Amino acid sequence: MTVLNMNIKQPIAAIAFFAFSFQAQAQTVEEGIKMYQYERFESAKKILTPLAAGSSIANYYLGLAQLSTENKSEAKSTFEHYPEDNANLSGLARIAYLNNDITEGNRITTLLASKAGKKAWEPLKLAADAITYTKGGNVQQAIDWYKDAIKRNDNNETRLALGDAYQQIHGGGGEAMNNYEKVTGRDPKNSLAFSKIGALWYAAKNYNLALENYNKAKEADPANPLPYQDLANAYFWTGKYEIARQNIEKYLSLSDKTSEDMTRYANILYLSKDYAGAIKTIQELIAKGVNKPGLYGILGFSQYETKDYANALNNVRIYITKQEADKITPFDLIEYGKILAVNNQSDSADVYFTKAINKDTSSNKSDVYRQIAEGFKAGKDYAKAAVWYDKMIKNSKDIPAIDYFWRGAMYYYSKNYQPAAKAFEEMETKFADQPSATYWRGRVAAAMDEEAKTCEASPFYQKWLEKVGPEYDKKSDLMYAYQYLALCAYNKNDKTTMNTYLDKIATIDANNSFLKQLRDAGAKPAPTKGKK
């Protein structure tokens, strides 16, 4: 399940240069193209189908709409109705690339670009579009063709497409932004350009600027459903779940309400933590015969959150097995790992967590490591949770104290006391203002000295008590320290100190069994060393 993943959308075509294709019916064809650009593919097909016989550009966009609804063979047949038309040739190049016939795709796009001669720009853009909106072609070649087209005719549609191409190359986000902003500077009502700017900020996790631009996209054209979907995603990441839901429901009201639209709705329900609603929506789609892999991802991940672990495992396994590899995200792999872990399949979980790390392209992978560690923690495999917290700390920067704590705690609960001691010592050194590190150094030392014979935990507990004082609110923590210190004093035959700590225990719990046992033991004569 690709969660919150912005798909690059082809810009609205330069209708002017296709005007000869539809003349008096221009507005109707424009509406069909608009429906395609707004991802209302069923509406686009309905409008464009009766027009395609008399309009090559209507035919071209009909083929694109068919491609977008995964009807590749039907789209190929449609494009072949105008085999000499530049736009439909571009469509056939897309088919070639989608069929992984790179040689044929390159042949068609090169032929198209050569038709530009010294003046025309449209063939250059159409050749570049075939590369930009599929996979397999040379994206740098597409960028060069867009630039040549812009030299001949600097229009908004080519600028948007150039920005989309730049998004596909490493470090191209800045140039993409420049081109999108060039469009909004010339056309403040360009809804699609603002959506693309918002998508760049969204990818950079600057959700406030993403929201700002998505709202501009909405205001530029209130009939465009796409900004509402984008707003739903961005509001989710700012923690405004109810507003996220409102926006996805507005998106639905403007969309074709296809199975894909309903899947998006279920995705937002899942993200906004309405797991029951997501499960219900997905089960309804499956009952209607919709059988796409992504449905099983949303369903399984929602079931995991409702602790229906067995069904979660079955459904996410279907998703991981059937989904195309390039559509499976690091998030998906992490969630699957968590489900495996909670179903006591820790070794398999490790495999998928490692895949998630390898697939994640972000420079700071601390969130990925943290989610993995939390997955093992939820599955109560504390030893592996500790290992992943340790990996996060060693491979990331600016890790907060809480993660250092959990690393030590997971080692402690898995009874790996030596690495736990080292982890809490490192935490205490790095976060001197955190008394908990000192306390847990005491807990670890006490676990290795259960009978308080060596009293190795005493210095840590005493130092911690000085830091937090007797009014410390976590009485259970105080109880651990007082009991150990009292027992240590008993073993040293230091009854005065022992009674001091027993009195402190009594103020917390006068009926404490340890208190009674040690007072009874302390009332007896101490054993004489060396004698039976």
**Model pLDDT for residues 86-110, shown as the tens digit of each residue:** 999 999 999 999 999 999 999 999 9
The answer on 108 and 18 residing in a single domain is yes
pLDDT for position 241: 84
In a domain, 208, yes or no: yes
In a domain, 295, yes or no: no
Q: Which structure tokens are listed for 43? A: 């509406």
In a domain, 318, yes or no: no
Whether 50 has a pLDDT exceeding 90, the answer reads yes
**Mean pLDDT score across all residues of the chain:** 90
C-alpha–C-alpha distance, residues 389 and 424, integer Å: 13
Q: How confident is the model at residue 525 (pLDDT cuts 50, 70, 90)?
A: low
The answer on 1 and 124 residing in a single domain is yes
Domain end position, chosen among 248, 273, 298: 273
In a domain, 519, yes or no: yes
177 Cβ contact list (under 8 Å, min separation 6)? 163, 197, 200
In a domain, 112, yes or no: yes
C-alpha–C-alpha distance, residues 497 and 486, integer Å: 7
Q: What is the mean pLDDT of residues 284-309?
A: 95
DSSP codes joined into one string, 108-141:
HHHHHHHTTTTT--HHHHHHHHHHHTSSSS-HHH
The answer on 127 and 82 residing in a single domain is yes
Q: Which structure tokens are listed for 102? A: 């790179």
pLDDT for position 387: 94
Whether 412 has a pLDDT exceeding 80, the answer reads yes
Contact between 115 and 123 under an 8 Å Cβ cutoff? The reply is yes
242 Cβ contact list (under 8 Å, min separation 6)? 272
In a domain, 392, yes or no: no
The answer on 18 and 157 residing in a single domain is yes
The answer on 59 and 146 residing in a single domain is yes
Kindly provide the b/e burial profile for residues 61-93, where b requires at least 16 CB atoms within 10 angstroms of the residue's own CB: bbbbbbbbbebeeebbebbeebeebbbbbbbbb
Number of domains in the chain: 3
Q: How confident is the model at residue 166 (pLDDT cuts 50, 70, 90)?
A: very high
Domain end position, chosen among 164, 187, 210: 187
Task: Determine what percent of the chain falls in helix, strand and coil, rounding each to the nearest 5.
Answer: 75, 0, 25
In a domain, 445, yes or no: no
User: Which of residues 20 and 459 earns the better pLDDT score?
Assistant: 459
Domain end position, chosen among 273, 306, 323: 273
Q: Report the percent of the chain where pLDDT is more than 90.
A: 72
The answer on 149 and 216 residing in a single domain is no
CATH assignment at residue 8: 1.25.40.10
The answer on 226 and 88 residing in a single domain is no
The answer on 128 and 23 residing in a single domain is yes
Q: What is the mean pLDDT of residues 256-260?
A: 88
Whether 202 has a pLDDT exceeding 60, the answer reads yes
C-alpha–C-alpha distance, residues 80 and 100, integer Å: 19
C-alpha–C-alpha distance, residues 424 and 405, integer Å: 7
Query: How many helices (H) and strands (E) are present in the chain, helices listed first?
Result: 29, 0
pLDDT for position 402: 95
Contact between 168 and 146 under an 8 Å Cβ cutoff? The reply is no
Q: Which of 174, 126, 162 lies closest to 17, judged by CA? A: 126
pLDDT for position 367: 86
The answer on 267 and 231 residing in a single domain is yes
Residue type for position 35: M
pLDDT for position 360: 84
In a domain, 173, yes or no: yes
- Which structural domain range is residue 521 located in? 452-532
Vertex 424: Cα angle to 409 and 380 (nearest 5):
10
Q: How confident is the model at residue 467 (pLDDT cuts 50, 70, 90)?
A: very high
- What angle in degrees, to the nearest 10, is found between the helix axes of 56-68 and 26-37? 20
SS3 readout for 340-392: HHHCCCHHHHHHHHHHHHHHCCCCCCHHHHHHHHHHHHHCCCHHHHHHHHHHH
C-alpha–C-alpha distance, residues 51 and 314, integer Å: 46
Q: How confident is the model at residue 27 (pLDDT cuts 50, 70, 90)?
A: low
pLDDT for position 527: 52
Q: Report the percent of the chain where pLDDT is more than 70.
A: 93
Give me the count of residues in the chain: 532
The answer on 129 and 27 residing in a single domain is yes
The answer on 238 and 137 residing in a single domain is no
Contact between 269 and 244 under an 8 Å Cβ cutoff? The reply is no
Whether 238 has a pLDDT exceeding 90, the answer reads no
Q: Which of 293, 248, 292, 238 lies closest to 270, judged by CA? A: 248
The answer on 118 and 63 residing in a single domain is yes
Highest mean pLDDT (candidates 58-62, 242-246, 364-368, 370-374): 58-62
pLDDT for position 524: 65
pLDDT for position 268: 85
